[in-house]
A and B are shown apart, each in its own frame.
Chain A
């Protein structure tokens, strides 16, 4: 059974801090890695879809890197703002079907 693990489970930071969290997955099974942000009372929204080892993607203050050989992806937030408070989910596609395997998420709280 493939497992996607995210750490830490939760994180509290002060406004202006930079932070990062990890998504780990089996390196032998990789096709695509997704990152989503899920704010309270809203729908999950896609941040990035990554497919190539060494990929680095950026959207504003948020960026992500991918290492498929060792089976991890990092999500970075530079200069956290209260509006960044959300649960950040990663999901793996292992290539053998159309489904995503979801991690449990990292819950980020940014204190003003």
Chain B
């Protein structure tokens, strides 16, 4: 079974803090994704990576950066957390092309106060 794990289920941070969200997958997938999910807005893609050290902006990259130094790990970084980044963050991974399914982690509920 593919397993995608995220470092925290719940996280509370203060405005202005630098926040790291970690995602690890154990199936050697080339592609990894970071989404945020907000009520009424659905899943929105923040960044994705199709190979080590390769990244591409999604639909809402502002205020975020990512790092992929190893194939199994994809980190989302909030450089200076703001209250409008309070959300559920989901990591996913996928083998091969878009005809393959995505596997999701359990999500991190981030609250910025």
Binding site for B on A (CB under 8 A): 31-32, 34, 36, 42-46, 49, 51, 89, 91, 93, 95, 98-100, 102-105
Q: Which residues of A contact B43 (CB under 8 A)?
A: 89, 91, 102
Q: Which residues of B contact A98 (CB under 8 A)?
A: 31, 48, 50, 56, 97-98
Contact B98 A46, beta carbon cutoff 8 Å: no
Contact A44 B90, beta carbon cutoff 8 Å: yes
- Which of the segments B10-18, B60-68, B70-78, B100-108 contacts the partner chain? B100-108
Q: Which residues of B contact A42 (CB under 8 A)?
A: 106
Complex CA–CA separation, A29 to B98 (angstroms): 14
Q: Which residues of B contact A34 (CB under 8 A)?
A: 101-102
- Of all chain B residues, the one with the shortest Cβ separation from A50 is B99
Binding site for A on B (CB under 8 A): 4, 31, 40-45, 48, 50, 56, 58, 90, 97-107
When A98-B31, A102-B42 are in contact, do A49 and B90 touch as well, CB less than 8 Å? no
When A44-B90, A93-B98 are in contact, do A99 and B45 touch as well, CB less than 8 Å? yes
Contact A43 B98, beta carbon cutoff 8 Å: no
Q: Which residues of B contact A89 (CB under 8 A)?
A: 42-43
When A43-B90, A46-B101, A104-B40 are in contact, do A99 and B31 touch as well, CB less than 8 Å? no
Q: Which residues of A contact B45 (CB under 8 A)?
A: 99-100
Contacts A43-B4, A105-B42 aside, 7 further interface pairs with beta carbons under 8 A come to: A44-B90, A49-B99, A89-B43, A98-B48, A98-B50, A98-B56, A104-B42
Complex CA–CA separation, A45 to B8 (angstroms): 20
